[in-house]
Amino acid sequence: MKTLSTGDIAQWCDVNLRTVIRWIEKGDLKGFKLPGRGNNRVLVEDFIAFLDHHGMPVPEELQGFVNNCVLIVDDEEAITRAIRRALRSAGFETIIAHDGFQAGSLLMQEKPALMTLDLSMPGLDGFSVLEFVRQQPNLSGLKILVVSALDQHNLDRALQLGADQVLGKPFTEQELLSAVTGLLGTVTQT
């Protein structure tokens, strides 16, 4: 659990220390205070989220902390393997969940940057997953890519419920990769 001081951040952002403190005070940048006089600390992941959110470049020293993990949720082994192969070759970490319980636990445990979600898994309603996830404040950074064979109406509904992007089945490897890199784009190059 690495943290950064205001001074570190001031250097990375090429900005005055005073300004960093103001960002934190105003809530733009998430941080917390040490007991003493309230010296500020920022979790690396929060800092990266901050950079990402403002389209700022991530310093090389912090590249290692960039989260490029993708959770693949689908009950069909064939699909998950295909997606994993494509994403791995593009340099992403992957985890696979074959049912709702695994999906939920792995999501909370591994905190992936993106989840691919099949809407129609037996016993798991993709829409209620979307609703549930979007209610969790600490998953706010999670990108969701819905992958489904359902019609446009259902895809639209998924978007409305909080999916970041949808992909109809069948899809090409190209389409998948461009969707994922589009969502994680600025952060993932190694």
> Which chain residues interact with a second copy by CB under 8 A?
1-3, 12-15, 19, 22-23, 28-29, 32-36, 41, 43, 50, 54-57, 59, 99-109, 121-125, 128-129, 132, 136, 138
CA-CA distance, 186 to 17, in Å (whole number)? Answer: 25
Tell me how many residues contact DNA (CB under 7 A): 21
| Identity of the residue, 47 or 92, whose beta carbon is nearer to DNA in the bound complex | 47
Whether the Cβ atoms of residue 105 and residue 77 lie closer than 8 Å to each other: no
- Residue 58: HSE in the Cβ half-sphere, 13 Å Cα cutoff: 22
| Identity of the residue, 57 or 91, whose beta carbon is nearer to a second copy in the bound complex | 57
Task: Pick one of DNA, a second copy, none as the site partner of residue 160 (Cβ within 5 to 8 A by kind).
Answer: none
| Identity of the residue, 18 or 153, whose beta carbon is nearer to DNA in the bound complex | 18
Q: Hey, what long-range contacts does 122-127 have (CB within 8 A, 24 or more apart)? A: 122/75, 123/99, 124/75, 124/99, 124/100, 126/158, 127/157, 127/158, 127/161
Closest approach of DNA to the CB of residue 172, in Å: 40
What are residue 71's DSSP bridge partners?
A: 95, 115
Residues that bind DNA (CB under 7 A): 5-8, 10, 15-23, 34-40
